[in-house]
Amino acid sequence: MRQTYSTMRITYLILVLILLIGVSGSWSQRQLWTNGTANTIGHKDIQIAALSPSIYGISESMDISSHVFACIFAPNVSLKKNWLKKSRLSIASGHGIYYPTPLAKQIASRNYFPSLTDSTIIPDVIAVRSELLISYGWGETDCPAFTGEEFNPENTFRGHTQLVTLKLGIQSGFNRGIFPLVNEPLLFQRSYYYNNNLCYYAGFDIDGHMTTFIDYAIDLDYYNFSEGVYALEHKGMIKWFMGKKFFHLMLGYHVSYADTPTGSEFLFGPMLDFVWIMHRNKMELGLFGKKMF
Protein backbone atom coordinates (compact mmCIF):
# COMPACT_ATOMS: atom_id res chain seq x y z
CA MET A 1 0.00 0.00 0.00
CA ARG A 2 2.81 2.39 0.87
CA GLN A 3 4.56 1.64 -2.44
CA THR A 4 1.36 2.21 -4.40
CA TYR A 5 0.79 5.52 -2.65
CA SER A 6 4.37 6.59 -3.32
CA THR A 7 4.07 5.66 -7.01
CA MET A 8 0.82 7.57 -7.37
CA ARG A 9 2.35 10.58 -5.64
CA ILE A 10 5.37 10.60 -7.95
CA THR A 11 3.19 10.14 -11.03
CA TYR A 12 0.88 12.94 -10.01
CA LEU A 13 3.82 15.22 -9.24
CA ILE A 14 5.21 14.62 -12.71
CA LEU A 15 1.84 15.47 -14.24
CA VAL A 16 1.59 18.66 -12.21
CA LEU A 17 5.18 19.45 -13.16
CA ILE A 18 4.43 19.17 -16.85
CA LEU A 19 1.19 21.12 -16.47
CA LEU A 20 2.71 24.02 -14.57
CA ILE A 21 5.72 24.19 -16.88
CA GLY A 22 3.27 24.42 -19.73
CA VAL A 23 1.49 27.36 -18.16
CA SER A 24 4.66 29.43 -17.94
CA GLY A 25 7.02 27.51 -20.14
CA SER A 26 9.04 28.75 -23.07
CA TRP A 27 9.81 26.49 -25.99
CA SER A 28 11.72 27.14 -29.15
CA GLN A 29 10.26 26.57 -32.60
CA ARG A 30 11.81 25.91 -35.99
CA GLN A 31 12.24 29.56 -36.93
CA LEU A 32 13.63 30.27 -33.46
CA TRP A 33 10.66 32.43 -32.52
CA THR A 34 9.58 31.16 -29.18
CA ASN A 35 7.41 31.93 -26.22
CA GLY A 36 10.63 32.50 -24.29
CA THR A 37 12.42 34.82 -26.74
CA ALA A 38 11.80 38.36 -27.95
CA ASN A 39 10.70 37.07 -31.36
CA THR A 40 7.00 36.62 -32.08
CA ILE A 41 5.18 34.11 -34.21
CA GLY A 42 4.15 35.25 -37.70
CA HIS A 43 0.92 37.08 -38.38
CA LYS A 44 -2.02 34.62 -38.29
CA ASP A 45 0.32 31.69 -37.71
CA ILE A 46 -0.83 29.19 -35.10
CA GLN A 47 1.04 26.83 -32.79
CA ILE A 48 -1.03 24.12 -31.13
CA ALA A 49 0.69 22.18 -28.34
CA ALA A 50 -0.42 19.35 -26.11
CA LEU A 51 1.34 20.58 -22.97
CA SER A 52 3.22 23.80 -23.68
CA PRO A 53 1.42 27.08 -24.53
CA SER A 54 -0.46 27.41 -27.79
CA ILE A 55 0.22 30.65 -29.69
CA TYR A 56 -1.57 32.80 -32.27
CA GLY A 57 0.03 35.68 -34.20
CA ILE A 58 -2.15 38.78 -33.84
CA SER A 59 0.26 40.75 -36.05
CA GLU A 60 3.88 40.49 -37.18
CA SER A 61 4.97 42.04 -33.87
CA MET A 62 2.41 40.69 -31.39
CA ASP A 63 1.14 37.27 -30.38
CA ILE A 64 -1.17 35.84 -27.75
CA SER A 65 -0.63 32.52 -25.99
CA SER A 66 -2.40 30.25 -23.57
CA HIS A 67 -2.05 26.79 -22.15
CA VAL A 68 -5.33 25.78 -23.75
CA PHE A 69 -5.70 22.35 -22.17
CA ALA A 70 -4.88 23.73 -18.71
CA CYS A 71 -7.51 26.47 -18.95
CA ILE A 72 -10.11 24.17 -17.42
CA PHE A 73 -8.23 24.09 -14.11
CA ALA A 74 -5.98 27.16 -14.44
CA PRO A 75 -7.34 29.83 -16.83
CA ASN A 76 -4.39 31.71 -18.30
CA VAL A 77 -3.46 34.07 -21.11
CA SER A 78 -0.27 35.91 -22.11
CA LEU A 79 0.50 38.68 -24.59
CA LYS A 80 3.88 39.44 -26.12
CA LYS A 81 4.77 42.60 -28.03
CA ASN A 82 7.96 43.05 -30.02
CA TRP A 83 9.22 46.65 -29.79
CA LEU A 84 12.50 46.41 -31.71
CA LYS A 85 13.49 44.03 -34.50
CA LYS A 86 16.92 44.31 -36.11
CA SER A 87 18.94 41.81 -38.11
CA ARG A 88 20.39 40.28 -34.92
CA LEU A 89 18.75 42.09 -31.99
CA SER A 90 15.14 41.79 -30.87
CA ILE A 91 13.46 43.35 -27.81
CA ALA A 92 9.98 42.57 -26.53
CA SER A 93 7.81 42.66 -23.43
CA GLY A 94 5.54 39.90 -22.18
CA HIS A 95 2.53 40.15 -19.89
CA GLY A 96 0.44 37.33 -18.46
CA ILE A 97 -2.41 36.69 -16.07
CA TYR A 98 -3.82 33.46 -14.72
CA TYR A 99 -6.21 32.09 -12.13
CA PRO A 100 -4.62 29.08 -10.34
CA THR A 101 -7.26 28.48 -7.65
CA PRO A 102 -9.19 25.65 -9.40
CA LEU A 103 -5.94 23.76 -10.08
CA ALA A 104 -4.78 24.19 -6.48
CA LYS A 105 -8.12 22.85 -5.23
CA GLN A 106 -7.82 19.82 -7.52
CA ILE A 107 -4.34 19.10 -6.17
CA ALA A 108 -5.50 19.54 -2.57
CA SER A 109 -8.45 17.19 -3.03
CA ARG A 110 -6.04 14.33 -3.86
CA ASN A 111 -4.12 14.65 -0.56
CA TYR A 112 -0.82 13.97 -2.31
CA PHE A 113 1.09 16.78 -0.61
CA PRO A 114 1.21 17.48 3.15
CA SER A 115 0.84 21.21 2.57
CA LEU A 116 -2.23 20.77 0.32
CA THR A 117 -4.96 18.47 1.62
CA ASP A 118 -8.71 18.30 1.21
CA SER A 119 -9.06 20.27 4.44
CA THR A 120 -6.83 23.12 3.21
CA ILE A 121 -8.63 26.39 2.54
CA ILE A 122 -7.66 27.64 -0.94
CA PRO A 123 -8.47 31.33 -1.49
CA ASP A 124 -9.17 32.95 -4.84
CA VAL A 125 -5.91 34.14 -6.38
CA ILE A 126 -5.13 36.19 -9.47
CA ALA A 127 -1.47 35.98 -10.54
CA VAL A 128 0.12 38.51 -12.91
CA ARG A 129 3.49 38.64 -14.64
CA SER A 130 5.46 41.16 -16.73
CA GLU A 131 8.87 40.61 -18.28
CA LEU A 132 11.46 42.10 -20.62
CA LEU A 133 12.96 39.86 -23.30
CA ILE A 134 16.17 40.67 -25.19
CA SER A 135 17.27 38.23 -27.89
CA TYR A 136 20.45 38.17 -29.96
CA GLY A 137 20.99 35.80 -32.86
CA TRP A 138 23.95 34.75 -34.94
CA GLY A 139 24.66 32.41 -37.79
CA GLU A 140 22.49 32.27 -40.89
CA THR A 141 20.68 29.46 -42.63
CA ASP A 142 17.71 28.76 -44.87
CA CYS A 143 15.18 27.50 -42.37
CA PRO A 144 12.97 24.74 -43.80
CA ALA A 145 10.03 25.49 -41.50
CA PHE A 146 6.76 25.89 -43.38
CA THR A 147 8.63 25.79 -46.69
CA GLY A 148 8.69 22.13 -47.67
CA GLU A 149 8.44 21.51 -51.39
CA GLU A 150 4.89 20.34 -50.99
CA PHE A 151 3.89 23.69 -49.50
CA ASN A 152 5.85 26.83 -50.33
CA PRO A 153 9.19 26.13 -52.05
CA GLU A 154 9.79 29.69 -53.28
CA ASN A 155 9.52 31.34 -49.85
CA THR A 156 12.31 29.98 -47.68
CA PHE A 157 12.97 31.50 -44.27
CA ARG A 158 16.36 33.15 -43.74
CA GLY A 159 17.08 32.92 -40.04
CA HIS A 160 19.68 32.51 -37.32
CA THR A 161 21.17 29.18 -36.37
CA GLN A 162 21.58 30.21 -32.70
CA LEU A 163 19.64 32.56 -30.45
CA VAL A 164 20.40 33.75 -26.91
CA THR A 165 17.73 35.48 -24.82
CA LEU A 166 18.03 37.43 -21.58
CA LYS A 167 14.85 37.52 -19.50
CA LEU A 168 14.04 39.91 -16.63
CA GLY A 169 10.65 39.87 -14.95
CA ILE A 170 8.43 40.42 -11.96
CA GLN A 171 5.32 38.59 -10.82
CA SER A 172 2.87 38.86 -7.97
CA GLY A 173 -0.41 37.49 -6.72
CA PHE A 174 -3.57 39.10 -5.41
CA ASN A 175 -5.82 37.01 -3.22
CA ARG A 176 -8.85 36.98 -0.97
CA GLY A 177 -7.22 35.11 1.88
CA ILE A 178 -3.94 33.47 2.80
CA PHE A 179 -2.61 30.92 0.34
CA PRO A 180 -0.92 27.97 2.12
CA LEU A 181 2.85 27.57 1.92
CA VAL A 182 3.66 24.79 -0.56
CA ASN A 183 7.14 23.34 -0.08
CA GLU A 184 7.15 21.00 -3.07
CA PRO A 185 9.81 22.01 -5.63
CA LEU A 186 8.42 23.81 -8.67
CA LEU A 187 5.08 24.28 -6.92
CA PHE A 188 6.83 26.43 -4.32
CA GLN A 189 8.11 29.10 -6.73
CA ARG A 190 4.76 29.02 -8.55
CA SER A 191 2.78 29.82 -5.40
CA TYR A 192 4.98 31.55 -2.80
CA TYR A 193 4.27 35.00 -4.23
CA TYR A 194 0.48 34.48 -4.26
CA ASN A 195 0.17 36.21 -0.86
CA ASN A 196 0.66 39.68 -2.30
CA ASN A 197 4.43 39.12 -2.44
CA LEU A 198 6.72 40.20 -5.26
CA CYS A 199 8.90 37.71 -7.08
CA TYR A 200 11.76 39.01 -9.20
CA TYR A 201 13.25 36.61 -11.70
CA ALA A 202 16.00 36.54 -14.30
CA GLY A 203 17.13 33.92 -16.76
CA PHE A 204 18.57 33.14 -20.12
CA ASP A 205 17.56 30.81 -22.95
CA ILE A 206 19.72 29.33 -25.69
CA ASP A 207 17.93 28.04 -28.79
CA GLY A 208 19.48 26.64 -31.92
CA HIS A 209 19.49 24.26 -34.87
CA MET A 210 21.48 21.05 -34.56
CA THR A 211 20.56 19.31 -37.82
CA THR A 212 17.99 19.68 -40.57
CA PHE A 213 15.31 18.05 -38.42
CA ILE A 214 16.59 18.59 -34.86
CA ASP A 215 16.63 21.74 -32.69
CA TYR A 216 17.58 22.24 -29.07
CA ALA A 217 16.62 24.60 -26.23
CA ILE A 218 18.34 25.17 -22.88
CA ASP A 219 17.33 27.63 -20.17
CA LEU A 220 18.17 28.60 -16.62
CA ASP A 221 15.97 30.79 -14.38
CA TYR A 222 16.57 32.33 -10.97
CA TYR A 223 13.65 33.41 -8.72
CA ASN A 224 14.19 35.81 -5.84
CA PHE A 225 11.60 36.26 -3.09
CA SER A 226 11.56 38.23 0.14
CA GLU A 227 13.47 37.17 3.24
CA GLY A 228 16.30 35.60 1.24
CA VAL A 229 14.12 32.85 -0.24
CA TYR A 230 15.06 31.80 -3.78
CA ALA A 231 14.61 29.06 -6.37
CA LEU A 232 16.41 27.80 -9.47
CA GLU A 233 15.01 26.06 -12.54
CA HIS A 234 16.75 24.50 -15.51
CA LYS A 235 15.29 22.83 -18.61
CA GLY A 236 16.83 21.06 -21.57
CA MET A 237 14.86 20.08 -24.68
CA ILE A 238 15.46 18.34 -27.99
CA LYS A 239 12.92 18.94 -30.77
CA TRP A 240 12.66 16.29 -33.44
CA PHE A 241 10.65 17.20 -36.51
CA MET A 242 10.13 13.60 -37.57
CA GLY A 243 10.29 14.49 -41.28
CA LYS A 244 7.25 16.72 -40.93
CA LYS A 245 7.99 20.43 -40.93
CA PHE A 246 4.72 21.37 -39.28
CA PHE A 247 4.78 18.74 -36.52
CA HIS A 248 7.47 17.92 -33.98
CA LEU A 249 8.09 15.91 -30.86
CA MET A 250 9.77 17.53 -27.86
CA LEU A 251 11.74 15.49 -25.33
CA GLY A 252 13.69 16.77 -22.37
CA TYR A 253 14.13 17.14 -18.65
CA HIS A 254 13.47 19.68 -15.92
CA VAL A 255 15.47 20.36 -12.75
CA SER A 256 14.07 22.47 -9.90
CA TYR A 257 15.70 23.57 -6.64
CA ALA A 258 13.99 25.71 -3.99
CA ASP A 259 15.44 27.11 -0.78
CA THR A 260 12.15 27.34 1.11
CA PRO A 261 11.54 28.74 4.62
CA THR A 262 11.31 25.16 5.90
CA GLY A 263 14.29 23.65 4.05
CA SER A 264 15.72 22.86 0.62
CA GLU A 265 13.75 20.96 -2.00
CA PHE A 266 15.02 19.35 -5.22
CA LEU A 267 13.19 17.74 -8.14
CA PHE A 268 14.25 16.16 -11.43
CA GLY A 269 11.67 15.05 -13.96
CA PRO A 270 11.16 14.15 -17.63
CA MET A 271 9.31 16.29 -20.16
CA LEU A 272 7.36 15.41 -23.30
CA ASP A 273 5.27 17.47 -25.71
CA PHE A 274 3.73 17.35 -29.18
CA VAL A 275 3.51 20.56 -31.22
CA TRP A 276 1.68 21.27 -34.47
CA ILE A 277 2.29 24.52 -36.36
CA MET A 278 -0.02 25.98 -38.98
CA HIS A 279 1.40 28.68 -41.22
CA ARG A 280 -0.94 31.09 -42.96
CA ASN A 281 0.45 30.11 -46.39
CA LYS A 282 0.02 26.45 -45.51
CA MET A 283 -3.59 26.77 -44.44
CA GLU A 284 -4.71 27.36 -48.04
CA LEU A 285 -2.84 24.32 -49.38
CA GLY A 286 -3.59 22.01 -46.49
CA LEU A 287 -1.83 18.94 -45.24
CA PHE A 288 -2.00 16.94 -48.47
CA GLY A 289 -1.86 19.63 -51.15
CA LYS A 290 -5.53 20.54 -50.83
CA LYS A 291 -7.48 22.90 -48.66
CA MET A 292 -7.39 22.07 -44.98
CA PHE A 293 -11.04 23.00 -44.35
pLDDT digits (tens, 9 = 90+) for 59-89: 989 999 998 877 888 899 999 999 998 888 9
CB of 108 closer than 8 Å to CB of 122: yes
Q: How does 156-167 read in b/e, with b if 16+ C-beta sit within 10 Å?
A: ebebbbebbbbb
What pLDDT, on the 0 to 100 scale, is given for residue 140?
Answer: 67
Closest residue by Cα to residue 198 from 130, 276, 288, 124: 130
d(CA 46, CA 246): 10
d(CA 202, CA 220): 9
pTM for the whole structure: 0.80
Architecture in CATH for domain 2-285: Beta Barrel (2.40)
Which of 64-68, 147-151, 195-199, 255-259 is predicted with the least confidence, judged by mean pLDDT? 147-151
Which of 134-138, 143-147, 168-172, 217-221 is predicted with the least confidence, judged by mean pLDDT? 143-147
Q: What single-letter amino acid sits at 85?
A: K
d(CA 16, CA 185): 11
Between 158 and 290, whose confidence is greater? 158
Residue 275's region, left for phi above 0, alpha for psi from -120 to 50, else beta, is beta
pLDDT digits (tens, 9 = 90+) for 225-248: 877 789 999 999 888 876 555 677
Residue 117's region, left for phi above 0, alpha for psi from -120 to 50, else beta, is beta
What pLDDT, on the 0 to 100 scale, is given for residue 93?
Answer: 96
Q: Is the pLDDT of residue 206 over 80?
A: yes
